[in-house]
Amino acid sequence: MPVDHEERRKQIAEALLRIADTEGLQSASMRAVAAEAGVSLRLVQYYFTTKQALLLDALARLGTQLQARMDRFVRAAGTPPTPRSTVTAILTSILPTDAESRRITRTYAAYYTLVLGDPALEKQATAQPDLLEGFLARQIGAAQESGEVAPERDPVMTAAGLLAMVNGLGSSVLGGQRTGDAALAVLTHHLDELFGEPR
Amino acid sequence: MPVDHEERRKQIAEALLRIADTEGLQSASMRAVAAEAGVSLRLVQYYFTTKQALLLDALARLGTQLQARMDRFVRAAGTPPTPRSTVTAILTSILPTDAESRRITRTYAAYYTLVLGDPALEKQATAQPDLLEGFLARQIGAAQESGEVAPERDPVMTAAGLLAMVNGLGSSVLGGQRTGDAALAVLTHHLDELFGEPR
DNA sequence: AAGGGTGTGGTACACCTGTACCATGAGCAT
DNA sequence: ATGCTCATGGTACAGGTGTACCACACCCTT
């Protein structure tokens, strides 16, 4: 058995994600995934016994991709990293402004309806935002100590608000209500207001 | 034909919305809707020729319900209405904090995936937020002129940010990441920060 | 050389989906 | 009374769904 299981699983899971991105999860039948991945239906069943398992694995991979993108953005944000550059990097990395972020955001959106109502998926999907929110809150707290952010702001509330705003902005972009650049402008306006003026 | 068409349509559409709320739209088959409404499958077909039509009509009704709720909140906000009370009323009315708003938010969420990718639904769903955003922006602008809001804030950006934040907060509540009260606390914190302190 | 697990293919099965079709009362106009 | 349109019921049909089952070829171990 010289086949690399992980490789095949990745190949199939990413086919699922591709379909979720372009046509939505409702079009991601086992057969469609198999065709997209260029394998037989049986193989999809073989590597992921059930559809639920495939969905869950693909969602985890999507999370990893987003994490990698955020890391990349944070690293590219500037040396030395300041709280402001870090927060800005993370939040802008989530916004659907380029091809990759649009893809990721759309795919997450495709999962959204599915996640509600399925506690198994729910746990998987809420763990990451919780950590992220705490991290952002700490960054804002640090910015407060260095005087960049007004002391009367509550770091936890502010972090939660910013993250929710980015989420909402992302939705509005996907819904065609706003362009990605417009959403970015809204975000930067609020960041400018939170930290000192322009930069 | 002494039957009231509008009444029957309402009965059926609301059955659809009830299913969308409790089990998601993927469980809202024509048969399920018929059963929920207590009518035959044929009748659902009769009053809404196609499923698409039923979905669209129900979505419009949902929009009307939300609009009614917002109106109610705004009227109850206080006399005379101030920009702050109006903005607060509208935004809190959207947040899933009580049974009705939870129902409305959940049902909108159920539509979310469907709306993306279907331009027909998209137009119907983005018209309302656009108007709302403009209205909020004007309220904030008025608050600026009376000195309640700092003049360096951009009303349009601020309105867009707040609305997006409320949207995102709603999602996090539905996802079980936060309680409705916690979301409300985040919102009021930001409103307090936007307008003068507490009240 | 034999055997057994592993990877793969094809296919069948039971079920659910939206929609189309046929039929039948009931009230009203002629 | 005789039609006619409206409102309703039942059911059939074609297609797609996830999953289960059967078969076979390979390679590694014994």
Task: Provide the residue type at A43 as one letter.
Answer: L
With CB atoms and an 8 Å threshold, state whether B116 touches A163. no
Contact by Cβ (8 Å): A164, B168: yes
Q: Is A125 on the interface with B (CB under 8 A)?
A: yes
Q: Are B184 and B102 in contact (CB under 8 A)?
A: no
Q: Identify whether the C-beta of residue A150 lies closer than 8 Å to the C-beta of residue A159.
A: no
Q: CB of residue B49 closer than 7 A to nucleic acid strand C?
A: yes
pLDDT tens, A32-86? 999 999 999 999 999 999 999 999 999 999 999 999 999 999 999 988 899 999 9
Asked if residue B65 keeps its beta carbon closer than 7 A to nucleic acid strand C, the reply is no
Provide the pLDDT for residue A90: 98
* Residue at minimum CA to C1' distance from nucleotide C27: B1
In the prediction, which pLDDT does A2 show?
Answer: 60
Contact A86, A77 (CB under 8 A): yes
DSSP letter string over A64-121? HHHHHHHHHHHHHT-SSPPHHHHHHHHHHHHSS-SHHHHHHHHHHHHHHHHHTT-HHH
Token pair of A98 as six digits = 């380029």
For B157-173, the pLDDT digits (tens) are 999 999 999 999 999 99
Give the lowest-confidence range in B10-24, B40-54, B123-137.
B123-137
The CATH fold assigned to B58-194 is: Tetracycline Repressor; domain 2 (1.10.357)
* Distance (Å) of CA B40 to CA B30, B36, B43: 10, 10, 5
Q: Taking the domains of chain A in order of start, what are their residue ranges? A: 1-49, 62-194
Q: Please determine, for residue A1, whether its predicted confidence score (pLDDT) is greater than 60.
A: no
The confidence score (pLDDT) of residue B4 equals 87
Written as six digits, the tokens of B46 are 């009769």
Query: Chain A to chain B, count of Cβ pairs less than 8 Å apart?
Result: 130
Minimal Cα distance from B188: which residue of A?
A157
Integer Cα distance of A164 and B153 in angstroms: 20
pLDDT attached to residue A197: 72
State CA A140 to chain mean position distance: 21
Residue A131, judged by CB atoms within 10 A of its CB (0-12, 13-18, 19+), counts as: exposed
Q: Which nucleotides of D are covered by protein (CB under 7 A)?
A: 6-11, 16-21, 27-28
- The answer for A82, left when phi > 0, alpha when psi is -120 to 50, beta otherwise, is beta
Fold for the domain defined by A62-194:
Tetracycline Repressor; domain 2 (1.10.357)
**What is residue B116's predicted lDDT score, i.e. its pLDDT?**
92
Interface test mutation site (partner B, options A173, A177, A178, A197, max chain B beta carbons within 10 A): A177
A 10 A CB-CB count for A104 gives: 21
Residue B45 Cβ < 7 Å to strand C: yes
DSSP H helix total and E strand total for chain A: 9, 0
CA distance A39 to A13: 12
> What is the distance between the alpha carbons of residues B81 and A59, in angstroms, rounded to a whole number?
46
Higher pLDDT, A148 or A79: A148
Decide if B137 contacts B61 (C-beta within 8 A).
Answer: no
- Whether the per-residue pLDDT at A144 is higher than 90: the answer is yes
**Between chains, do B157 and A25 touch, taking CB under 8 Å as contact?**
no
pLDDT of res. B23: 96
How do residues B141-162 score in pLDDT, each as one tens digit?
Answer: 999 999 999 999 999 999 999 9
Nucleotide lying nearest to A43, CA to C1' measure: C8
Residues with CB under 7 A from strand D: A 2, 27-32, 41-42, 45, 49-52; B 1, 3, 5, 8, 39-43, 45-47
- Interchain CB distance below 8 Å, A153 and B193: yes
Token pair 């920060």 is found at B193
User: Which positions in chain B touch A26 (Cβ < 8 Å)?
Assistant: 26, 113
Whether the per-residue pLDDT at A198 is higher than 70: the answer is no
Q: What is the CA radius of gyration of chain B?
A: 19
Would you give the end-to-end CA distance of chain B in angstroms? 58
**How deeply is B28 buried, as exposed, middle or buried, from its count of CB atoms within 10 A (0-12, 13-18, 19+)?**
buried
Residue A199 pLDDT greater than 50, yes or no: no
Rounded Cα distance between A22 and A185, Å, is 26
Q: Which residue is it, tokens 């999602």? A: B171
- Could you tell me the distance in Å between the CA of residue A183 and the C1' of nucleotide D21? 52
Specify whether the backbone of B150 is left (phi greater than 0), alpha (psi in -120 to 50) or beta.
beta
- The dotted CATH code for B1-49 is 1.10.10.60
pLDDT category at B199 given cuts 50, 70, 90 is very low
CB contacts of B167 in chain A (<8 Å) are: 164, 167-168, 171-172
Query: Considering chain A, what percentage of its residues have pLDDT values greater than 70?
Result: 98
Range of weakest confidence among A98-107, A159-168, B121-130? B121-130
Is strand C in 7 Å reach of the CB of A123? no
Inform me whether the C-beta atom of residue A134 falls under 8 Å from chain B C-beta atoms.
no
Instruction: Give the per-residue pLDDT at B1.
Output: 47
Chain B touched by A117 (CB under 8 Å): yes
Chain A residue closest in CA terms to B152 = A193
- B117, pLDDT greater than 90: no
Q: Which residues of B touch A116 (CB under 8 A)?
A: 24, 106, 109-110, 174-175
Determine contact, residues A74/A80, Cβ cutoff 8 Å: no
Tokens of B172: 């996090």
pLDDT tens track for B28-70: 999 999 999 999 999 999 999 999 999 999 999 999 999 999 9
**How far does A105 lie from chain B, in Å, by closest CA?**
12
Q: Give, in order, the Cα–Cα distances in Å from A44 to each of A2, A16, A17, A31.
A: 18, 10, 14, 8
Residue pair A114/A25 in contact by the 8 Å Cβ criterion:
yes
